[in-house]
């Protein structure tokens, strides 16, 4: 069997000539580059996915997307059987594989790795890979490259799920490995059913001026999320989704989308002064992140941005409220103690005001290095783990222990779905576990959870925005000769090397009220990123520039 496998790999890889000098690495988002240079990379990713499936004995996913990147870019990433990111331990092999310079070298890499991982060809385990792509023009041809890579591993089967959001593919992989029906129809059905269930459990409140209206304006970034939202809205009641930038005329991620809105802090194309006061949300190109905003002026495109930090805070506030209801009843002897460890996970880029607010709620706050794979891994340590990056990528994870606890409560003989506030709190938590995408950040499920919570709270977007006041911040990029000269620790907040640099940053930061500053090397280019906060915008601009000057003097 091995001889047959070698022959197949030699034949298939001979059709994909690597580009001399082209280097690419597997980051948090997988491989990304201009689509014109990705054929060989995506072919290798097909091999990678097939081997991962053989190793685990379960389905894995392969998604063709470049998320918020420009339309000429594309990328590929692997979804593990859990629906999460590919195991980090496989990333070095992924980098080596895509760097092959000849068919013989590729075969040697595969044979050495499969021997190390004890992966056998032609054994009882089969490889099944679910494929998906977004709406980029290059997606169709690159998907064919992935299929060729998968087919080069004997016995591997590719199932094309069609044009999807990235979170949909991750969700499908997770569900199918749990023997749960996971077609696109099932995805839409679960979203609408759990949303309607959650809204139906809202307490009765008198109408107030702050109560959110039923209309949500959505910037779909001219990406795949637009067409999927049209399917979602068909089965929703009590909310009107108005989709703009659906891709029929505009260009993907060009002056639109969550990344543009979050970084530029202006309204995307198609939004403006006529939308003042309206609740707006912006997705990115593959709908795995989202941020809210409201246009604040009738004569400009300036916005009040509600980023991932405030989305996280809203989710945490709501879940904590439900747990408090359960705890109060348990304290009165209503049942066994409902013991739950809840934690929120952020990166150093989270605004300091959000961290202070979360701690005031009595929540445990943990920090990880930048990258969803680190946040997701840490969040999984809790009974309920909530993570978000400021860019709007995040989700909520529920442990099997917690899911068993609430299932046991629902199955108690005296439990009533129309009963006490205690029982309604249980059912709200059940609905949240079904609405949120626990595999990965998902803009569609996430925005529906936001909408349900705002209705529960009776809040307008303005009320939500006032949850806390962000500290002024500034980000800079400093060009350096070698970014690897900087080594950080403590979730990238402390410089270990060069020695003495952290002391200089601390000395400069101490000059400013509520000053906070850290630096970290870019993962893709020779620049050092500077992030700073202070009590005023003038102060933080000066702090960032001063630290940037220090970095430039030492490393330039």
Residues 155, 58, single domain; the answer is: yes
Question: In this structure, is residue 267 part of a structural domain?
Answer: no
Contact 35, 136 (CB under 8 A): yes
Contact 55, 147 (CB under 8 A): no
The predicted-structure confidence for 422-480, as pLDDT tens digits, reads as follows 899 999 999 999 999 999 999 999 999 999 999 999 999 999 999 999 999 999 999 99
With 60 as the cut, is the pLDDT of residue 29 above it?
yes
The CATH number of residue 167's host domain is 3.40.120.10
With 50 as the cut, is the pLDDT of residue 209 above it?
no
Is 288 a known ligand-binding residue?
Answer: yes
The predicted-structure confidence for 293-327, as pLDDT tens digits, reads as follows 999 988 888 999 999 999 999 999 999 999 999 88
With 60 as the cut, is the pLDDT of residue 157 above it?
yes
Which of 180, 209, 225 is the last residue in one of the domains?
180
Instruction: With CA atoms as reference, report the closest residue to 170 among 29, 310, 51.
Output: 29
CA 373 to CA 441: how far, in whole Å?
11
In the block, residue with structure tokens 């609905």? 431
Question: In this structure, is residue 430 part of a structural domain?
Answer: yes
With 70 as the cut, is the pLDDT of residue 51 above it?
yes
With 80 as the cut, is the pLDDT of residue 522 above it?
yes
DSSP reduced 3-state for 547: helix
Higher pLDDT, 507 or 412: 507
pLDDT score of 203: 79
Question: In this structure, is residue 285 part of a structural domain?
Answer: no
Question: In this structure, is residue 460 part of a structural domain?
Answer: no
CA 523 to CA 487: how far, in whole Å?
12
The CATH number of residue 478's host domain is 3.30.310.50
Distances (CA, A) of 122 to 5, 54, 328: 9, 10, 57
CA 88 to CA 85: how far, in whole Å?
8
pTM: 0.94
pLDDT score of 204: 61
With 70 as the cut, is the pLDDT of residue 212 above it?
no
The stretch 352-369 carries a mean pLDDT of: 96
Q: How confident is the model at residue 349 (pLDDT cuts 50, 70, 90)?
A: very high
With 90 as the cut, is the pLDDT of residue 384 above it?
yes
DSSP reduced 3-state for 112: helix
The predicted-structure confidence for 466-511, as pLDDT tens digits, reads as follows 999 999 999 999 999 898 999 999 999 999 999 999 999 999 999 9
**Annotated catalytic sites, by residue?**
67
Is 522 a known ligand-binding residue?
Answer: yes
Is 67 a known ligand-binding residue?
Answer: yes
Residues 429, 481, single domain; the answer is: no
Instruction: With CA atoms as reference, report the closest residue to 103 among 19, 16, 13.
Output: 13
Q: How confident is the model at residue 419 (pLDDT cuts 50, 70, 90)?
A: confident
pLDDT score of 337: 59
Is 307 a known ligand-binding residue?
Answer: no
Contact 341, 383 (CB under 8 A): yes
Residues 60, 175, single domain; the answer is: yes
Question: In this structure, is residue 130 part of a structural domain?
Answer: yes
Residues 111, 150, single domain; the answer is: yes
Residues 360, 482, single domain; the answer is: no
Which of 443, 462, 483 is the last residue in one of the domains?
443
Contact 192, 232 (CB under 8 A): yes
Residues 378, 526, single domain; the answer is: no
Bridge partners of 281, per DSSP, are: 218, 292
Is 482 a known ligand-binding residue?
Answer: no
With 70 as the cut, is the pLDDT of residue 268 above it?
yes
Which of 180, 214, 235 is the last residue in one of the domains?
180
The predicted-structure confidence for 320-339, as pLDDT tens digits, reads as follows 999 999 888 766 555 555 67
Residues 174, 98, single domain; the answer is: yes
With 50 as the cut, is the pLDDT of residue 289 above it?
yes
Residues 527, 401, single domain; the answer is: no
**Residue 133 token pair:** 């792509």
Q: How confident is the model at residue 208 (pLDDT cuts 50, 70, 90)?
A: very low
Higher pLDDT, 182 or 209: 182
Residues 436, 529, single domain; the answer is: no
Is 225 a known ligand-binding residue?
Answer: no
CA 44 to CA 48: how far, in whole Å?
6
Question: In this structure, is residue 13 part of a structural domain?
Answer: yes
The stretch 344-355 carries a mean pLDDT of: 96
Start-end of H helices in 210-351: 224-232, 258-264, 308-331
Distances (CA, A) of 551 to 350, 377, 478, 488, 542: 22, 31, 7, 14, 14
Is 133 a known ligand-binding residue?
Answer: no
Question: In this structure, is residue 199 part of a structural domain?
Answer: no
CA 433 to CA 193: how far, in whole Å?
12
CA 50 to CA 55: how far, in whole Å?
9
- The one-character DSSP state at 445 is H
Question: In this structure, is residue 239 part of a structural domain?
Answer: no
Distances (CA, A) of 301 to 260, 268, 273, 304, 540: 13, 8, 7, 10, 24
Q: What is the residue range of 351's domain?
A: 309-443
Q: How many folded domains does the chain comprise?
A: 3
DSSP string, 71-97: TTEEEEEEE-TTSSBPPGGGHHHHHHH
CA gyration radius, the chain: 24
Distances (CA, A) of 445 to 75, 196, 198, 310, 460: 23, 12, 12, 16, 20
Is 400 a known ligand-binding residue?
Answer: no
With 50 as the cut, is the pLDDT of residue 207 above it?
no
Residues 329, 439, single domain; the answer is: yes
């Amino acid at each position: 069997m091995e001889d047959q496998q070698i022959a197949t790999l030699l034949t298939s890889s001979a059709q994909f000539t690597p580009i001399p000098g082209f280097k690419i690495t597997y980051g948090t988002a997988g491989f990304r580059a201009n689509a014109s240079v990705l054929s060989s990379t995506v072919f290798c990713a097909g091999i990678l996915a097939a081997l991962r499936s053989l190793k685990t004995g379960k389905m894995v996913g392969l998604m063709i997307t470049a998320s918020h990147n420009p339309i000429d870019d594309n990328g590929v990433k692997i979804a593990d059987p859990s629906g999460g990111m590919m195991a980090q331990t496989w990333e070095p092999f992924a980098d080596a594989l895509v760097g092959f310079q000849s068919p013989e070298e590729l075969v040697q890499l595969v044979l050495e790795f499969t021997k190390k991982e004890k992966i056998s060809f032609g054994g009882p385990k089969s490889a099944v890979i679910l494929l998906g792509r977004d709406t980029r023009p290059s997606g169709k041809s690159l998907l064919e490259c992935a299929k060729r890579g998968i087919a080069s591993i004997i016995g591997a089967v590719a199932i094309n799920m069609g044009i999807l959001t990235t979170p949909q593919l991750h969700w499908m992989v997770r569900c199918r490995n749990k023997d749960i029906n996971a077609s696109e129809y099932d995805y839409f059905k679960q979203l609408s059913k759990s949303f309607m269930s959650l809204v139906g459990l809202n307490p009765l409140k008198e109408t107030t001026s702050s109560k959110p209206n039923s209309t949500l304006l959505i910037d779909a970034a001219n990406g795949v999320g637009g067409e999927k939202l049209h399917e979602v809205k068909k089965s929703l009641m009590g909310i009107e989704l108005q989709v703009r930038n659906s891709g029929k005329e505009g260009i993907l991620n060009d002056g639109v989308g969550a990344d543009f809105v979050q970084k530029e802090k202006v309204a995307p194309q198609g939004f403006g002064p006529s939308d003042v006061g309206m609740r707006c949300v912006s997705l990115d190109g593959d709908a795995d992140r989202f941020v809210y905003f409201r246009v604040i002026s009738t004569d400009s495109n300036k916005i009040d941005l509600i980023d991932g930090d405030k989305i996280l805070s809203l989710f945490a506030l709501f879940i904590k409220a439900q747990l408090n209801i359960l705890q109060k009843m348990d304290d009165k002897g209503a049942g066994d103690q409902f013991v739950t460890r809840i934690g929120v996970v952020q990166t150093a880029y989270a605004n300091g005001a959000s961290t202070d607010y979360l701690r005031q709620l009595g929540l445990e706050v943990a920090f990880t290095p930048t990258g969803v794979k680190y946040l997701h891994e840490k969040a999984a340590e809790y009974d309920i783990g909530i993570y978000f990056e400021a860019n709007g990528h995040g989700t909520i994870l529920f442990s099997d222990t917690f899911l068993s606890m609430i299932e046991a409560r629902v199955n108690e003989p005296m439990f009533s779905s129309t009963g006490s506030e205690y029982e309604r709190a249980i059912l709200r938590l059940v609905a949240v576990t079904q609405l949120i995408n626990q595999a990965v950040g998902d803009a569609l499920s996430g925005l529906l959870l936001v909408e349900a919570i705002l209705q529960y709270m009776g809040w307008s977007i303005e009320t939500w925005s006032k949850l806390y006041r962000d500290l002024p911040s500034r980000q800079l990029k400093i060009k350096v000769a070698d970014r690897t000269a900087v080594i950080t620790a403590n979730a990238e907040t402390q410089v270990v090397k060069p020695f003495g640099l952290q002391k200089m940053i601390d000395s400069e930061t101490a000059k400013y009220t509520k000053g906070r500053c850290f630096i970290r090397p870019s993962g893709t280019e020779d620049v050092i990123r500077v992030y700073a906060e202070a009590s005023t915008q003038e102060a933080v601009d000066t702090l960032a520039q001063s630290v940037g000057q220090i970095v430039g003097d030492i490393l330039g």
